[in-house]
């Protein structure tokens, strides 16, 4: 549905995007992850035709944004980081304006009614946008993106500044929309991408660091299996005993304390299930295990790891050049 | 394009801008009309139209100051620029909205001439000529105002810079009379908006002047479109 290839964007001497390429399939929710200033918004702005690129192309459903911007823009619903709302308009007036702006041909009343129902705006349709809460404004922003029923929805940091309840609501809404639309969602909150997206593209300093399915991205980089344990007994001795268990590469005290148990983290050889060994070793010493769970590499870890790897590669490249 | 035009018109009338500007304009134009025609006991209104040009410098600067700067400040331009409307369409919609309001203010002055015709026999050719001239000059002013508004997100800066540029364009005729060096005078005379208005005040439809005003208008609309195009490629 979306083909982004080799996007390069420079602002003066600063390179914001350096060969960004990825593709998104139909009815897929893609998370666009990266720290602030990574190039997420620039990529999205190029994808929506707001900015042009120095090189590369964006194709929406086979339509090139640079060659046929009018046609390509009709296929996209875009929610920028700051929703583009006219504060002096009522919600209904605003949605009608967007309807006309996009040159929609769908039945106006039924279409806007449906959008308001999906975004749960029906009860505020007659209210001025400037009097709405941040959460409602965000929903109006999402509603304007839905006008015209575009195939592709692009949301730039849609949950920024919302309270936890509103965040959950917006995430649920995006998940619902993902069933019928292709959605691209940018965020710097890693847990958000994991909660909502089917696939994640990680970007840093204008380069794509990873492009994989959400569930496999942590597995790909996870060399060793990690377990979190809660064991009753003297801290140091328990840690020593854990280190002595066959298959355990590393054991550390994480410092959390719960009544008479302490928390530990052990790292085991990849593919080697050492849980039974740990159980019997602890039982032999009389230390009761009160909790044990596998800890997959979190997306936070993945992100830091990928960023470090990229920086190391860069340094190596720089050294080689010298 | 129609959607943006409608939205602009709506914005003028849901905020006090249109009401305040038309009220102030009517008052100032009324006073000017009284001074230039009724008090002078003449039916020749060309002096009134010449003063009206200066009034429009301020009125149009205030009318156009928020056209693009406010969109930029509120980031609503992102909606317009990512919608399937062309840049020219967007600029033209805003131009036409400002032009409609400008024409509205001009229509408000029609009763003045009805009053004048009650006490004298005015030269309608002159009045129509001046009106056409003012419409053309107003269009230029609007195009300049939109251009200045597209350069900044500060409405006040847009208004002040519009007034400065328009004063510069109008005042070139004043400079023309104090400069002896012919090539400079020739250029200033060519640029001057004011000097080209003269024929309209005689009731003559000056085609070269009309072409000049339309060209200035088109150039500034084009420059406004270029500002947005350039920003895309920034």
Mean pLDDT, range B121-149, rounded to an integer: 91
Residue B31 CB neighbour total at 10 angstroms = 12
Task: Tell me the C-alpha distance between A102 and B143, whole Å.
Answer: 25
Pair of tokens at residue B217 = 């208008």
B77 contact residues in A (CB cutoff 8 A): 84
The residue in chain B having the minimum alpha-carbon distance to the alpha carbon of residue A103 is: B84
Tell me whether residue B155 is in a domain.
yes
Which residues in chain B have their CB less than 8 angstroms from residue A69's CB? Answer: 84
Q: Which residues contact A300 (CB under 8 A, 6 or more apart)?
A: A190
Partners of residue B81 in chain A, C-beta under 8 Å: 49-50
Of all residues in chain A, the one with the smallest CA distance to B10 is A89
Do A74 and B84 lie within an 8 Å CB cutoff?
yes
Residue pair A210/A200 in contact by the 8 Å Cβ criterion: yes
List the pLDDT tens digit at each of the 322 positions of chain A: 889 998 999 888 888 888 889 998 888 899 988 878 888 889 999 999 898 888 999 999 889 988 888 888 999 999 998 899 999 999 999 999 999 999 888 888 999 999 998 888 889 999 999 999 888 898 899 999 999 989 999 999 888 878 888 888 888 888 888 888 899 999 887 778 888 888 988 888 888 888 888 777 766 665 567 888 899 888 888 889 998 888 888 888 887 677 778 889 888 876 677 888 899 999 998 999 988 887 766 656 666 777 666 666 666 655 444 3
Is B234 within the bounds of a domain? Answer: no
CATH topology of domain A223-295: Alpha-Beta Plaits (3.30.70)
Asked if the C-beta of A300 comes within 8 angstroms of chain B's C-beta atoms, the answer is no
Domains of chain A: which residue ranges? 2-220, 223-295
Q: Would you call A84 and B76 a contact, using CB atoms and an 8 Å cutoff?
A: yes
> Looking at the 3D structure of chain B, how many domains does it have?
1
Pairwise CA distance, residues A217 & B176, whole Å: 73
Calpha distance A250→A260 (Å, rounded): 23
Q: Please give the pLDDT value at position A320.
A: 41
Say if residues A29 and A179 touch (Cβ distance below 8 Å): no
What is the spatial distance between Cα B3 and Cα B164, in angstroms, rounded to a whole number? 32
- Using a 10 angstrom Cβ sphere, with 0-12 exposed, 13-18 middle and 19 or more buried, the burial of residue B77 is buried
Task: Residue B123: name the closest of B65, B204, B188 by CA.
Answer: B204
- The answer to whether residue B158 sits within a structural domain is yes
B181 within some domain: yes
Distances (CA, A) of A137 to A50, A119, A171, B196: 22, 11, 15, 51
Q: Which of A51, A73, A88 sits opposite B84 (nearest CB)?
A: A73
Nearest CA in chain B to A98: B3
Give residue for tokens 């009343």: A109
Residues of A in contact with B6 (CB under 8 A): 97, 100
Answer whether B74 sits within 8 Å of A100, measured CB to CB.
Answer: no
- The predicted model gives B111-131 an average pLDDT of 86
Angle at A133 between CA A128 and CA A139, to 5 degrees: 85
Four-point Cα dihedral B54, B56, B59, B64, nearest 10:
-120
Minimum Cα–Cα distance from B77: chain A residue: A84
Residue A149 falls in which region: left (phi positive, over 0), alpha (psi -120 to 50) or beta: left
Mean pLDDT computed over B165-185: 81
Domain limits for position B32: 2-229
Give CA torsion, residues B17, B18, B19, B24, to 10 deg.
90
Closest in B14, B84, B86 to A102, CB measured: B84
**Torsions phi, psi for A188 (to 5 deg):** -110, 5
β-bridge pairing A199-204 and A29-33: parallel
Locate the chain B residue with the closest alpha carbon to A87: B74
pLDDT digits (tens, 9 = 90+) for B69-80: 999 999 999 999
Please state which of the ranges A235-249, B37-51, B99-113 shows the lowest mean pLDDT. B37-51
Within this chain, domains A2-220 and A223-295 share the same CATH topology? no
Query: Which among B6, B11, B83 has the least Cβ separation from residue A73?
Result: B83
Residue B173: inside a domain, yes or no? yes
- At CA A78, angle to CA A73 and CA A79, rounded to 5? 160
CATH topology of domain A2-220: Rossmann fold (3.40.50)
For Cα atoms B89, B93, B94, give the angle at the middle one, nearest 5 degrees.
125
User: In the prediction, which pLDDT does A246 show?
Assistant: 86
| Site of tokens 């809404």 | A173
Residue B122, token pair as written in the block: 């005015």
Residue B2: which of A48, A80, A100 has the nearest Cβ? A100
Q: What is the CA radius of gyration of chain A?
A: 25
Task: Output the pLDDT for position B219.
Answer: 95
Q: Which residues of A touch B83 (CB under 8 A)?
A: 73, 98, 101-102
Tell me the nearest-neighbour CA distance from A85 into chain B, angstroms. Answer: 6
Q: Which of A16, A66, A84 to mutate to test binding with chain B, by most B CBs within 10 Å of its CB? A: A84
Q: Which residues pair with A259 in a beta bridge?
A: none
- Out of B14, B78, B85, whose CB is closest to A80? B78
Tokens of A172: 């649920």
Q: Strand A207-213 vs strand A199-204: parallel, antiparallel, or unpaired?
A: antiparallel
When mean pLDDT is compared over A281-290, B41-50, B76-85, B92-101, the highest value belongs to: B92-101
**Residues B77, A84: C-beta atoms closer than 8 Å:** yes
Residue among A70, A84, A88 whose CB faces B15 most closely? A88
Specify the pLDDT at position A220.
63
Q: What's the pLDDT score for residue B5?
A: 94
ipTM of the complex: 0.85
A65 close to B (CB below 8 A): no
Answer for the pair A46, A53: CB distance below 8 angstroms, yes or no: yes
First to last CA, chain A: 42
**Mutation choice for B interface testing from A50, A87, A150 by most B CBs within 10 A:** A50
Structural domain includes residue B20: yes
Nearest to B37 by CA among B102, B105, B117, B103: B117
Minimal Cβ distance to A84: which of B78, B85, B234: B78
Task: For the beta carbon of residue A285, count every other beta carbon within 10 angstroms.
Answer: 14
Residue A169 is encoded by which pair of tokens?
């609501």
A127 touches B: beta carbon within 8 Å? no
- Contacts of residue A15, Cβ cutoff 8 Å, sequence gap at least 6: A8, A9, A206
């Amino acid at each position: 549905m979306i083909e982004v290839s080799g996007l390069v964007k420079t602002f003066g001497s600063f390179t914001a995007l350096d060969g960004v390429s990825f593709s998104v399939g139909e009815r897929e929710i893609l998370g666009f992850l990266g720290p602030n200033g990574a190039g997420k918004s620039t990529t999205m702005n190029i994808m929506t035709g707001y900015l042009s690129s120095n090189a590369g192309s964006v194709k929406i459903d086979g339509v090139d944004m640079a060659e046929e911007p009018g046609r390509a823009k009709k296929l996209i619903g875009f929610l920028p980081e700051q929703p583009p709302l006219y504060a002096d308009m009522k919600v209904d007036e605003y949605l009608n304006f967007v309807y006309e702006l996009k040159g929609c041909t769908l039945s106006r009343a039924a279409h806007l009614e449906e959008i308001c129902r999906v975004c749960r705006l029906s009860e505020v349709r007659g209210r001025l946008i400037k009097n709405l809460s941040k959460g409602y404004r965000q929903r109006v922003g999402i509603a304007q993106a839905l006008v015209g029923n575009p195939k592709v929805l692009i949301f730039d940091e849609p949950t920024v500044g919302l309270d936890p309840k509103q965040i959950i609501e917006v995430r649920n809404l995006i998940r619902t929309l993902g069933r019928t639309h292709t959605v691209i969602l940018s965020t710097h909150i890693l847990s958000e991408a994991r909660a909502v997206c089917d696939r994640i593209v990680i970007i840093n300093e204008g380069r794509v660091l990873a492009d994989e399915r959400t569930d496999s991205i942590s597995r790909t980089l996870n060399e060793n299996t990690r377990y979190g344990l809660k064991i009753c007994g003297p801290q140091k001795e328990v840690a020593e005993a854990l280190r002595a268990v066959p298959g355990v590469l590393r054991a550390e005290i994480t410092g959390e304390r719960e009544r008479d148990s302490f928390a530990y983290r052990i790292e085991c050889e990849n593919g080697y299930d050492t849980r039974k060994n740990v159980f019997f070793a602890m039982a032999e010493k009389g230390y009761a295990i009160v909790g044990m769970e596998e800890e997959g590499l979190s997306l936070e870890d993945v992100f830091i790891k990928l960023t470090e790897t990229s920086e190391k590669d860069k340094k190596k490249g720089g050294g080689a050049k010298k | 394009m129609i959607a943006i035009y409608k939205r602009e018109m709506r914005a003028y009338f849901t905020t006090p801008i249109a009401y305040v500007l038309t009220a102030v304009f009517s008052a100032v134009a009324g006073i000017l009309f009284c001074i230039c025609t009724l008090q002078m006991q003449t039916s020749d209104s060309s002096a009134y139209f010449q003063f009206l040009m200066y009034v429009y410098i301020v009125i149009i600067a205030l009318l156009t100051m928020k056209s693009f700067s406010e969109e930029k400040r509120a980031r609503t331009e992102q909606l317009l620029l990512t919608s399937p409307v062309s840049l020219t369409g967007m600029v033209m919609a805003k131009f036409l909205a400002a032009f409609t309001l400008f024409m509205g203010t001009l229509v408000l002055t029609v009763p003045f001439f009805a009053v004048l015709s009650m006490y004298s026999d005015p030269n309608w050719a002159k009045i129509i000529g001046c009106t056409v001239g003012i419409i053309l000059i107003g269009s230029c002013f609007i195009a300049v105002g939109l251009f200045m508004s597209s350069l900044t997100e500060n409405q006040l800066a847009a208004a002040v810079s519009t007034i400065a540029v328009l004063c510069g364009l109008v005042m070139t005729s004043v400079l023309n009379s104090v400069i002896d060096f012919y090539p400079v005078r020739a250029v200033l005379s060519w640029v001057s908006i004011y000097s080209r208005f003269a024929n309209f005040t005689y009731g003559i439809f000056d085609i070269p002047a009309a072409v000049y005003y339309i060209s200035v208008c088109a150039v500034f609309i084009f420059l406004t479109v270029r500002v947005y195009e350039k920003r895309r490629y920034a």
